[in-house]
Amino acid sequence: MAHVSAAYLISQIPVKGKPLTWKEVLLVILAGVIFDFDIFLPEWLGYPFGSHHLLFTHTPAMGLIYFAVFWLIFRKRVNPKIWLLVGLALLSHLVLDDLSYWLYLWEYENGSPSPQIFWLYPFDPRQQAVTKKFLELYGNVAKYKGWNDILQAFSLRMAKLFWMELGLRIATITVFVKKNWKRR
């Protein structure tokens, strides 16, 4: 949900003083969430839920591929200035995914002690070690049994990140309501 919120807020940046059309807003939101289209891929391959961040599909290199595909499909239908927002939405997804690791490194949160995004893939030597350790810890068993367990673990283990993401959602709702309230 935080990815949708961040992408929506990015889509509210006016281009040449004009707000984006709904089609352009949807393109920016799609760019903000497309990385998570791989969420079930690890389970289909026999790996635990949540290990999709360890895949090639969650790297800046794949972000460049997504950007190129979007550009090839929509380049004639979308204002050229929108492409900066599409790129920002793609980048925001990776930043939000890796935020728990950064907060852990800064000793601000009990987040992930290992990177969630390998920014220099395929040249990041940590990727194989992190993947191996993740699979040793969790094997072929899903860590969480359902969405309630995930929410509870996230809100308790990474409370600061939870509240930051909640604030992002509230900001999104506020911007959406304020923008649409003016129309009436």
Binned at pLDDT 50, 70 and 90, residue 150 comes out as low
Per-residue pLDDT at 140 exceeds 50: no
pLDDT at 121: 86
Lookup result for tokens 């040793």? 136
Q: What is the pLDDT of residues 32-67, one digit of tens each?
A: 999 999 888 877 877 776 678 888 889 999 999 999
Characterize 20-37 residue by residue with b for buried, 16 or more Cβ atoms within 10 angstroms of its Cβ, and e for exposed. Answer: beeebbebbbbbbbbbbe
Q: What are the pLDDT digits (tens) for 165-182?
A: 778 888 888 888 888 776
| CA dist., res. 113 & res. 153, Å (int) | 15
Bond from prior residue into 125 cis (ω within 30 degrees of 0): no
pLDDT 10s digits, 99-137: 888 887 877 776 667 788 889 988 888 877 777 776 666
H helix count then E strand count, the chain:
8, 0
